[in-house]
Amino acid sequence: MSVNWGSVADWVSGIGSLAAVVTALYLARASNKIRLRVHVGHRIVLAAGQQAEPPQFLQIGAVNIGSRFARITNVGYRVGVRRKQFAIQSIEANSMSSGMPADLSDGQEARWMIPLDLSDNWIERFARDFLLPNWKIRLWSARVQVHTSVGRVFEASFEPSIKKKLAAECARQVAAGG
């Protein structure tokens, strides 16, 4: 039995060409997507010569890790497993927070700082309005969302430090009967 090596070479060449086309299409499509890395956590801001207690913030950040331009239109929250709740965070642009919309080129970052030590405390309101009464499950499911102008939504879990503060506040409110 003789093997026709010419037809085997044709097959191998055809498979190689198909693999090259599929790879090129995949790379072209992947480079056209918006890619953001989102984080959210507790931050303390220190200043030189500061005498008073340093201010505390919830910091939401987004970094463009792709090569495509991204416009961020809103940041917000998603809480719940079956019956999800959504909220948009109102943020004013200042020296510590980016404005809305935030335009990010490759490698740029936007940051939004929400004060935690005001009389209208974000931790107390978030625990009361979004986590109670089933706060353990709802805190586990809580995510920060970053919305883009093309309809993509990027999510991130709260860092452990902010989860710990929210859990303590929920336990305090439950013990207080609220």
Express each pLDDT in 19-63 by its tens digit: 888 888 777 766 678 999 999 999 998 888 878 888 999 999 999
**Size (the chain), residues:** 178
pLDDT confidence of residue 154 = 97
The contacts of residue 131 (CB under 8 Å, 6+ apart) are 79, 138, 139, 142, 166, 170
The values of phi and psi at residue 137, to 5°, are -70, -45
Which of 11-20, 47-56, 140-149 has the largest mean confidence? 140-149
pLDDT confidence of residue 3 = 60
User: Letter for the amino acid at 2?
Assistant: S
Task: Report CA 2 to chain centroid distance, whole Å.
Answer: 61
Topology of domain 34-175 in CATH is Immunoglobulin-like (2.60.40)
With a cut of 60, say whether residue 178 has pLDDT above it.
Answer: no
pLDDT confidence of residue 75 = 96
- Band (1; pLDDT cuts 50, 70, 90): low
Share of the chain above pLDDT 90, in %: 61
- Whether residue 54 is preceded by a cis peptide bond, meaning omega within 30 degrees of 0, is no
pLDDT confidence of residue 53 = 86
Inter-residue contact 158 to 40 (CB < 8 Å): yes
Express each pLDDT in 66-103 by its tens digit: 888 999 999 999 999 888 999 999 888 888 899 899 99
| Domain locations in the chain as residue ranges | 1-30, 34-175
Instruction: Sheet with 56-64: list strands edge to edge.
Output: 36-44, 56-64, 109-115
Furthest-apart CA atoms within the chain: distance in Å: 92
Express each pLDDT in 126-136 by its tens digit: 999 999 989 99
Q: Which residue has the higher pLDDT, 91 or 113?
A: 113
pLDDT confidence of residue 5 = 60
pLDDT confidence of residue 4 = 63
pTM of the model: 0.80
